Amino acid sequence: MFQSEYLKKVYAGVEARNPGEKEFLQAVREVLESLEPVVAANPKLQEQGVLERIVEPERQIFFRVSWVDDKGQVQVNRGYRVQFNSAIGPYKGGIRLHPSVNASVIKFLGFEQIFKNSLTGLPIGGGKGGSDFDPKGKSDLEIMRFCQSFMTELAKHIGADTDVPAGDIGTGAREIGYMYGQYKRLRNEFTGVLTGKGLTYGGSLARKEATGFGLCYFVDEMLRCMKGESFKGKIAVISGSGNVAIYANQKATELGAKVVAMSDSNGYVYDPNGIDLAVVKQIKEVERGRIKEYAARVKGAEYHEGCSGIWTIKCDIALPCATQNEINEESAKTLVKNGVIAVGEGANMPSTPEAIATFQNAGVLFAPAKASNAGGVATSALEMSQNSQRLSWTFEEVDAKLKNIMVNIFHNAYNAAEKYGMKGNLVAGANIAGFEKVADAMLAQGIAY
Ligand code: NDP
């Protein structure tokens, strides 16, 4: 519960204005709770209505996306773009294509993105978009028609200096390519309006790897500074088997861990010998198949139906890299009982508030998403820089910048928590460090009458 009357009032306003939007309310509550000491120390925030403003998106665009499927039938989906906050730079955030997408999900992601983007130290504001379109089981042509229709409306609202979308769940290189092609056709300009592009038309080396690699750089620094430990010799469990999960597996393995389990939305595979990542890449990146097939191809591996069972596997390090609220209190308790020492969030908001409290009360090192998965958007911002310069940096250059950014984010979050008397609480530290810069920029830019 909130101590400050001001925060109580702000949160009540958000509840009244966004009824039933549980993901959005969850994300707002977590941030506001962390800001208690900041609000107490800075009366200007209340005088200038900074919190009332920061919880309300600057602009929300909801639109119809109609397209024709392979049978010639008309399909209708809903498109979203929430331009949440542009205090420190153009709106930046991915496009999620998944049947679970709704206004609450896009708003929670857009809100989180404000603080995450600020933490990177790069000049990018917060936004997010998506659609309830389900890419699973669709042909390439159906995907193309959907992406073209989606971009036909979205193109009116974005631009290289206005709003720069990227990938997220269901939006990978193929979808970004179709969207970019349509944007170019409509506007007749070749600009860095999307990130996550293919390498032949302005994409950045290491962008594909960035979120998973960045997560491991963050967790490695956290282990080193807070426990004198590292990935070496540790057993890791990683949920998901998409972009973030695959490259988290690759880096965790390079740093000396053995990853024994991965999943998708149907179930998980357990391989006591360590997951053979080449097999996962073949199934997921090439064939677009299901993780179940791993157990059929690799001797000694087991497949289990259902996602949450993955958290019953004994491990030292847990990296949730699938979706929001995938670790609940019960799963968190099981992980703690099995001796987990660190949890690093690769997905956005994968742990429920009760799960986070369980980890923190048990002394488990906990890396919150908005800090630990910021490597993806940071590298997207590096892609924007390369596009503006009309230059391409080497993989090693981008990777070195990414590592440096992740290490800095860890220290900024750690120091902010310590400054406000919450040493070791990276959830609070990340929220505060991300917030301070945005709030300062909002104060400087005044209120529009
Ligand atoms: P992908 O679409 O590449 O992969 C998502 C993975 O999560 C798949 O294995 C998918 O399984 C699984 N998944 C999706 N929805 C659910 C669900 N409701 N229940 C269980 N499993 C599910 O997405 P990404 O790897 O890009 O994104 C994963 C997470 O990381 C998301 O939370 C995203 O917002 C976050 N993130 C991504 C960034 C990026 O750069 N890509 C940057 C920062 C955060 P299935 O194939 O069966 O759907």
Model pLDDT for residues 11-37, shown as the tens digit of each residue: 999 999 999 999 999 999 999 999 999
Sequence letter at residue 262: M
When pLDDT is averaged across residues 339-352 and rounded to a whole number, the result is 97
DSSP string covering 293-305, please? HHHHHSTT-EEEE
The token duo for 90 is: 């153009």
Burial 271-289 (b: 16+ CB within 10 A, else e): beeebebebbbebbbeeee
pLDDT number for residue 186: 98
Q: Do domains 59-190 and 208-372 have the same CATH topology?
A: yes
Cβ–Cβ under 8 Å, residues 36 and 7: yes
pLDDT number for residue 146: 98
pLDDT number for residue 189: 94
pLDDT number for residue 276: 98
Residue 160 neighbours by CB under 8 Å, 6+ apart: 90, 191, 192, 193, 384, 387, 388
Q: Is the CB of 321 under 6 A from ligand 1?
A: yes
When pLDDT is averaged across residues 328-353 and rounded to a whole number, the result is 98
Q: Is the CB of 89 under 6 A from ligand 1?
A: no
Q: What is the pLDDT of residues 405-448, one digit of tens each?
A: 999 999 999 999 999 999 999 999 999 999 999 999 999 999 97
Looking from the CA of 32 toward its CB, the CA atoms found within 13 Å total: 28
What are the backbone dihedrals phi and psi of residue 99, each rounded to the nearest 5 degrees, phi first?
A: -60, -20
In CATH, what is the architecture of 208-372? 3-Layer(aba) Sandwich (3.40)
Beta strands in 149-285 (DSSP E): 163-166, 235-239, 258-263, 267-270
pLDDT band at 1; cut points 50, 70, 90 = confident
Which residue's alpha carbon is at the smallest distance from atom 37 of ligand 1?
168
Q: Which residue has the tokens 């389990």?
A: 261
DSSP string covering 342-386, please? EEE--SSS-B-HHHHHHHHHTT-EEE-HHHHTTHHHHHHHHHHHH
Cβ–Cβ under 8 Å, residues 357 and 118: no
Question: Is residue 158 over pLDDT 90?
Answer: yes
Q: Is the CB of 280 under 6 A from ligand 1?
A: no
> To the nearest whole percent, how much of the chain has pLDDT over 70?
100
Residue 47 neighbours by CB under 8 Å, 6+ apart: none
Which residue's alpha carbon is at the smallest distance from atom 20 of ligand 1?
265
Q: Is the CB of 264 under 6 A from ligand 1?
A: yes
Q: What is the pLDDT of residues 169-212, one digit of tens each?
A: 999 999 999 999 999 999 999 999 999 999 999 999 999 999 99
Q: Is the CB of 144 under 6 A from ligand 1?
A: no
Give catalytic residues, as residue numbers.
Answer: 128
The DSSP 8-state label assigned to residue 92 in this structure reads E
More confident residue, 448 or 76: 76
Average pLDDT over all residues of the chain: 97
When pLDDT is averaged across residues 392-399 and rounded to a whole number, the result is 98
When pLDDT is averaged across residues 70-81 and rounded to a whole number, the result is 98
Sketch the domain layout of the chain as residue ranges.
Answer: 5-54, 59-190, 208-372
Cβ–Cβ under 8 Å, residues 321 and 212: yes
pLDDT number for residue 448: 77
Q: What CATH class is the domain 59-190?
A: alpha beta
pTM: predicted TM-score of the whole model, two decimal places: 0.96
Q: What is the pLDDT of residues 273-324, one digit of tens each?
A: 999 999 999 999 999 999 999 999 999 999 999 999 999 999 999 999 999 9
CA distance 350 to 359: 13
Spacing, Cα 169 to ligand 1 middle (Å): 4
> To the nearest whole percent, how much of the chain has pLDDT over 90?
99
Q: Do β-strands 91-97 and 163-166 pair in parallel, antiparallel, or remain unpaired?
A: parallel
Which residue's alpha carbon is at the smallest distance from atom 3 of ligand 1?
242
pLDDT number for residue 226: 98
Spacing, Cα 320 to ligand 1 middle (Å): 10
Question: Is residue 238 over pLDDT 90?
Answer: yes
Question: Is residue 359 over pLDDT 90?
Answer: yes
When pLDDT is averaged across residues 89-100 and rounded to a whole number, the result is 98
Q: What is the pLDDT of residues 118-157, one digit of tens each?
A: 999 999 999 999 999 999 999 999 999 999 999 999 999 9
Cβ–Cβ under 8 Å, residues 223 and 193: no
The three-class DSSP label of residue 384 is: helix
